[in-house]
Amino acid sequence: MTPHARVGILGGGQLAQMLADAGNRIGIASTAYDPTPDACAQTACPVMHQPFDDVDALTAFAKSVDVVTCEFENVPMIALETCAKVCPVRPGPHSFYVARNRIREKHALRDAGWATADFVEIRTDDDLTLAAETLGFPCIIKSAEGGYDGYGQQRVHSLDKLRQAWIQMNVSQAIVEKLVEFSRELSIIGCRAPDGTHITWPIVHNHHDDGILLWTIAPAQNVSEALETDAAQRLVALMEQLDHIGVLTLEMFDTPDGLVVNEIAPRVHNSGHWSIEGTSASQFENHMRAMVGRHLVIPELAHTSVMVNLLGSIPDLASLRAVSDTHIHEYGKAPRGRRKIGHVTSLCHSSSDVASRRDKLLSVIRPDLVAVQ
């Protein structure tokens, strides 16, 4: 693939926007494909506005680029398969096939040596009884496919509630997981190139508010070198197992027995947004490099970083700008509910400043919350 290859991105949201921005900075052009007329990626690259099931439009799109990638894992398989007939799709459809189904995902993780929550596959009412007897309560029922940011799942405390949740989901397949007791949520991000070379970013500490990521501290504090190395090695093993090209993210729980993986995201990830300013080479830049076969850049940490999402509305920007070394990203999306419409990253010159910096940002962005460390 030539150094000036064009990357096609299925999806036109903020992840596509940041991928295109990163590509523009290093001379990699891109075109996004999204049915939404106001897709925010159009501030960074051309966007083809057509449905994800329009085979003719998808074929034309794939012919106009050199390689296709995705900004989210639930792109319809027909879109991936149509594009793959014309040009390379990276990561390959197999990564999405695994990651979009929680049952396949669990088996792939265990095959790569990762611990997961104990689970029972649900296809019939009898499976619900088995789950109750095996896992106990409370437990979590999740649709096997679909759902993100906490959607498509329910915590239940009895067999009756479990049955009600299964009926309400109205799906053919689900998974019930044993509740994992954990001290904090973590994630790790890696990137693999077509030639098999790979890089990883450090483990980061995440905090969710009602299922949606609120803040990330990078790198996570109090992570041993041995744990960091082991997690990176097993992440690489998973990428090799999937023959994954591009960025892959693992969301994890920190438990007394070690790391337990919650889910795979076969793409750039919200918990890696800090890497734009916080490292010498962001997740977005290295993903674009992997797409066109350029060498990956090892991400050197510039500072400890705090990233906070802007959910639903833009806060007082003047107050945010008053916080030293703080970078504001607005996606250009209309405010609505708890929609992710931007984020801020603040660089700390000392790890001892992290908690106070996070709290200072939250006092502007979410004054209703008491920061949880």
| CA quadruple 28, 31, 32, 36: dihedral, nearest 10 | 140
Q: Is 371's pLDDT higher than 60? A: no
Q: Contact at 8 Å (CB) between 36 and 95? A: no
Residue 203 confidence (pLDDT): 99
Q: Does residue 302 share a domain with residue 199?
A: yes
Q: What is the total count of domains within the chain? A: 3
Last residue of a domain, one of 153, 178, 203: 178
Q: What is the CATH number of the domain that holds 173?
A: 3.30.1490.20
Q: Which of 138, 157, 178 is the last residue of a domain?
A: 178
Residue 29: which residues within 8 A CB-CB, separation 6 or more? 4, 6, 7, 23, 45
Domain contains 138: yes
The CATH number of residue 226's host domain is 3.30.470.20
Phi, psi of 372 (to 5 degrees): -110, 120
**pLDDT higher than 80, residue 369:** no
Asked if 245 and 361 sit in the same domain, the reply is yes
Q: Which domain holds residue 295?
A: 184-365
pTM of the model: 0.94
The answer to whether residue 249 is domain-embedded is yes
Dist CA 48 CA 52 (whole Å)? 11
Domain boundary among the residues 159, 178, 197 is at 178
> What would the pLDDT profile of 331-365 be if each residue is shown by its tens digit?
999 999 899 999 999 999 888 899 999 999 999 99
113 located within any domain: no
Residue 102 lies in a domain: no
**Cα angle for residues 344, 148, 260 (degrees, 5° grid):** 90
Residue range 312-340: average pLDDT?
Answer: 95
pLDDT score of 2? 67
Question: What's the chain's length in residues?
Answer: 373
Tens of pLDDT, residue by residue over 60-89, are: 999 999 999 999 998 999 999 999 999 999
CATH at residue 37: 3.40.50.20
Residue 124 shares a structural domain with residue 47 = no
Position 51 in a domain: yes
Burial 319-338 (b: 16+ CB within 10 A, else e): ebeebeebbbbebebeeeee
Q: Name residue 309's beta-bridge partners.
A: 343
Residues 254, 238 contacting (CB under 8 angstroms): no
Please give the Cα distance from 169 to 75 (Å, whole number): 20
- pLDDT value, residue 302: 79
Instruction: Give pLDDT tens digits for 13-67.
Output: 999 999 999 999 999 999 999 999 999 999 999 999 999 999 999 999 999 999 9
Instruction: Let me know whether 136 and 223 are in one domain.
Output: no
Same domain, 169 and 65: no
User: By the 8 A CB rule, do 247 and 236 touch?
Assistant: no
The answer to whether residue 99 sits within a structural domain is no
Verify that 76 and 191 share a domain, yes or no.
Answer: no
Pairing, β 30-33 against β 7-10: parallel
